[in-house]
């Protein structure tokens, strides 16, 4: 056992469980790749100021949860707590928005970091797959992303999730609501930190999960009652497009995302089988974020889906994914000459797309066959001195136990045929 352990609130992904995480990432990414989204990868750390401006100085993410540090050169950096600000920064830096083909549609996958109180479904290191459509104000884009996320979850076999949908208004109507909400909050019995947050961004108070706060918010004014005509029409079109696609959602007038950059459409995917950490993903429109970080006006929309919580949702529903076999054939050589011949044959099989492994370390037949069974392989190839003389290899079906001799030159084609 090592002297060291994974840091508190983090985890290691190990086989065989890691195969499920890979399958979830692939399932979320698949509909994006088929809808014009290109892959982007950004650094694991960025300027602290990028997140302070983009995510919002009043958010818990920036004030309490960011892993911030100073480099030897004096730069203030932070491990990325979310993906949107980094993706937009990269797109602006590369001038992707100037290519004349808007929106710029990007997807990404990676690890993110927040200093939170560790519990099941909430870690200090977590994995997300995200998508962003940058540079277009179109209800169809908002609807597209909601539909693609729904498609990804259903392709995994998930059924017991709900989609919550709301509109947060825009720079025209939100200030009026902000003032009404602040007036309401000033009349409540709130602690100093919460009152301070209410003055900076009162919508953050609505997202406060403490029961003592939520009990007092029952009569809080709703943003939907303050939406301007343009925001109402925009939101209604999003609702109509999503509904026409056969995707079921719930209107949630109290839904507020935990980041400051959201405008208009906001949505969340929740799974009631996960307890307090019920949100498995979410996103929305962020039309002003580009300007917040020094770029031009680029209305945009996106989402991020949690891989960790999606795996927990699968477990809660009892869904077992059909995972591809890591090994289809396990080769067992008996003797030095058999080792040389069979290793060359395994290399040939791999080049032809057959997933094959080898009994390394000079194991005897009994130990090698135990390793073959543990590997999950469907077939074992056994080669001894007599087999070499006869020009054959023994092909054993590890499910039925049937064993047949196959010509050495025919074995690759035979396995390709059997494995499809």
Residues tagged in the binding site annotation for L-histidine: 82-84, 114, 128, 132, 257, 261-262
In this structure, are strands 300-306 and 279-285 parallel, antiparallel, or unpaired?
antiparallel
In this structure, are strands 45-47 and 125-134 parallel, antiparallel, or unpaired?
unpaired
Alpha carbon distance 301, 145 (integer Å) = 8
CB atoms within 10 A of CB 390: 12
| Contact criterion met (CB below 8 Å) for 236 and 166 | no
Q: Which helix (H) or strand (E) holds 133?
A: strand 125-134
Cis amide linkage into residue 16, ω under 30° from 0 = yes
| Contact criterion met (CB below 8 Å) for 79 and 91 | no
Which one, of 180, 174, 175, lies nearest residue 264 by Cα?
174
Which one, of 140, 174, 151, lies nearest residue 269 by Cα?
151
CB-neighbour burial class of residue 192 (10 A; exposed 0-12, middle 13-18, buried 19+): exposed
Cβ neighbours for 284, distance < 8 A, ≥ 6 positions apart: 142, 168, 257, 262, 263, 264, 265, 266, 267, 301, 302, 303
């Amino acid at each position: 056992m090592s002297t060291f352990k994974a840091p508190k609130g983090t985890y290691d992904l190990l086989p065989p469980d890691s195969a499920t995480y890979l399958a979830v990432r692939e399932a979320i990414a698949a509909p994006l790749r088929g809808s014009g989204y290109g892959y982007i990868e950004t650094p694991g750390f960025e300027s602290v100021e990028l997140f302070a401006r983009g995510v919002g100085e009043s958010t818990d993410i920036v004030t309490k949860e960011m892993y911030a540090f100073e480099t030897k050169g004096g730069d203030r950096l932070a491990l990325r707590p979310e993906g949107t600000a980094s993706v937009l920064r990269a797109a602006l830096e590369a001038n992707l928005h100037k290519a004349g083909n808007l929106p710029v549609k990007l997807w990404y996958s990676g690890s993110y970091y927040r200093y939170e109180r560790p519990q099941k479904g909430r870690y200090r290191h977590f994995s997300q797959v995200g998508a962003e459509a940058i540079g277009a104000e179109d209800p169809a884009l908002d609807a597209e992303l909601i539909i693609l996320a729904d498609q990804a979850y259903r392709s995994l076999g998930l059924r017991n999730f709900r989609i919550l949908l709301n509109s947060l208004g825009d720079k025209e109507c939100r200030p009026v609501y902000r003032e009404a909400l602040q007036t309401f909050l000033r009349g409540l019995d709130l602690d100093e930190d919460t009152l301070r947050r209410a003055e900076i961004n009162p919508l953050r108070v609505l997202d406060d999960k403490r029961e003592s706060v939520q009990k007092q918010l029952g009569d809080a004014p709703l943003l939907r009652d303050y939406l301007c005509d343009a925001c109402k029409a925009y939101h209604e079109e999003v609702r109509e497009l999503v509904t026409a696609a056969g995707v079921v959602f719930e209107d949630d007038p109290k839904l507020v995302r935990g980041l400051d950059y959201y405008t208009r459409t906001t949505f969340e995917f929740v799974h009631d089988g996960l307890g307090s950490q019920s949100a498995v993903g979410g996103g929305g429109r962020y039309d002003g974020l580009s300007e917040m970080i020094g770029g031009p006006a680029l209305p945009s929309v996106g989402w991020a889906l949690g891989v960790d919580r999606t795996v927990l949702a699968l477990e809660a529903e009892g869904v077992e994914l059909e995972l591809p076999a890591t090994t289809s054939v396990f080769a067992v050589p008996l003797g030095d000459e058999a080792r040389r011949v069979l290793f060359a044959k395994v290399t040939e099989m791999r080049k032809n797309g057959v997933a094959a492994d080898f009994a390394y370390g000079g194991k005897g037949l009994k130990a090698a066959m135990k390793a073959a069974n543990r590997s999950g392989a469907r077939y074992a190839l056994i080669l001894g001195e007599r087999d070499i003389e006869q020009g054959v290899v023994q092909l054993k079906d590890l499910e039925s136990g049937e064993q047949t001799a196959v010509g050495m030159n025919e074995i690759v084609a035979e396995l390709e045929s059997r494995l499809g």
